[in-house]
Amino acid sequence: VIDAQGWIDVTVPIRAGMVSYPRNPPIEVSQVESLARGGHATVSKISLGVHTGTHVDAPAHFIPGGSGVDRIPLDALMGRARVLGVPDVRRIDAAVLRTLEISSGDRILLKTLNSPRAWDSPGFFEGYAHVTPEGAQYLADRRIRTFGIDYLSVGVTGENSDTHRALLAANICVLEGLNLTPVVPGEYELLALPLLLAGADGAPTRVLLRPITRG
Ligand SMILES: [Zn+2]
């Protein structure tokens, strides 16, 4: 996962049958033509929801009339980011977040118990760490730029829309489905490139981190 320039790939590979959030479409990959079957070329077809694996949420996901992924400013997706470790907390509320010294303009990625526990689970991992609506409102009040978490939703069933709405209404770019297993908390350069799906409420995203070494 670490290449020669020090980039760490925190993207979850998209493959047929991979885990998805409840009530999201299954991920299917098939070959409509293949060299092995005597075709001219190998051509695959994919079927998936836009909230598959590592992805970004756009305001349109929970805000009526909200903008799509193609309108997310690039500066929310690239630049200095802080990976903060909260390994022992399942419900991340304002009290937990207050201990992390989060400031205006920050790009914050939370490494929780989900990395690697949730990703190692064969099915959907119900006990995933998530942010409460009150915690999300705290982040909105801090005016952070970007918020990322290491499983398929930032919120939990029953309060999922409140958590999302607090972040998205504050124009915080939400990254979900990061696999932060290989990443130690610290300062990183973030590169997150969502597929440019016109007007969509989310998009699968390649996310890379590179440690910033102070010298
Ligand atoms: Zn999402």
pLDDT, tens digit, 9 for 90 and up, residues 152-172: 999 999 999 999 999 999 999
pLDDT in tens, 92-104: 999 999 999 999 9
Going from the Cα of 42 to the center of ligand 1, the distance in angstroms, rounded, reads 31
- What would the mean pLDDT of 29-33 be, rounded to a whole number? 96
Query: Structure pTM?
Result: 0.95
How is 64-91 classified by DSSP, letter by letter?
A: TT---GGGS-HHHHEEEEEEEEETT-SE
Q: Looking at residue 5, what is its pLDDT?
A: 84
The identity of residue 73, as a single letter, is: P
Residues designated catalytic: 61
pLDDT for 61: 97
Contact call for residues 43 and 33 (beta carbons, < 8 A) = yes
Cβ neighbourhood burial of 102 (10 Å; 0-12, 13-18, 19+):
middle
SS3 139: helix
In this prediction, residue 1 has a pLDDT band, given cuts at 50, 70 and 90, of low
CA 203–ligand 1 middle distance (angstroms): 8
Q: Which residues surround ligand 1, an ion (CB under 5 A)?
A: 51, 57, 176, 202
Residue 174 has pLDDT above 80, yes or no: yes
Q: Report the distance separating Cα 163 and Cα 141, nearest Å.
A: 13
Using CA atoms, how far apart are residues 204 and 154, in angstroms rounded to an integer? 15
At residue 41, does pLDDT exceed 70? yes
Tell me what pLDDT residue 213 has: 82
The rounded Å distance from CA 179 to ligand 1 centre is: 15
According to the model, what pLDDT value does residue 4 have?
Answer: 72
Question: If you average pLDDT over residues 130-139, what whole number do you get?
Answer: 98
Q: How far is the CA of 176 from the centre of ligand 1 (A)?
A: 6
